[in-house]
Amino acid sequence: MGGILLKSCLDSLIELQRQYKEKIVALSQKNGLTLAEWQLLLKIVDGISTQEKLAKLTQLNVSTLSRQLAKLLSKEFIIKEPQENKQGRRFFSYSSTDKGISAISTMKKDIQMYSEHLFSHWSKEEQNLLQILLNRLSKSMERT
């Protein structure tokens, strides 16, 4: 019986993850971004400015990262500025435009509104209990 319940709980988590991703994709598209572009733009807005650092942080290969950066450039969410490092080699630094900052701000507000709507009929105690149980599940999964 426990095995059936566990499978049901894990299936429910997978379904929740799918629904959440679907919602986030829709919110990012509303702001003119793909999900991958939004995640990359978030890092640039947070001050990660070089392709090397972005590649390391996102674990994307250089060509995939270059394509995503090119798309953000073409949509005018970021700008690209040439820099020189200590060895005199040229590289580029990326920073967000006002349009990019606005898109991230709007996304954060949209996600906050979604979260508030999602939990609007939950008491604070229920929300805390859910967080405790999810943390507990996460720790159990890390141990296995």
Domain boundaries, the chain: 14-143
Q: Which residue has the tokens 């999810």?
A: 134
At residue 111, the pLDDT reads 96
At residue 3, the pLDDT reads 59
- Tell me the pTM: 0.81
For 14-143, CATH gives 1.10.10.10
> E-strand spans in the chain?
78-84, 90-96
pLDDT, averaged per 10 consecutive residues of the chain (144 residues), comes to 66 94 96 95 94 91 93 97 70 94 96 96 97 95 91
Question: Which tokens belong to 78?
Answer: 């970021």
At residue 86, the pLDDT reads 61
How many other CB atoms sit within 10 Å of the CB of residue 19? 10
How many other CB atoms sit within 10 Å of the CB of residue 40? 25
At residue 15, the pLDDT reads 94
At residue 104, the pLDDT reads 96
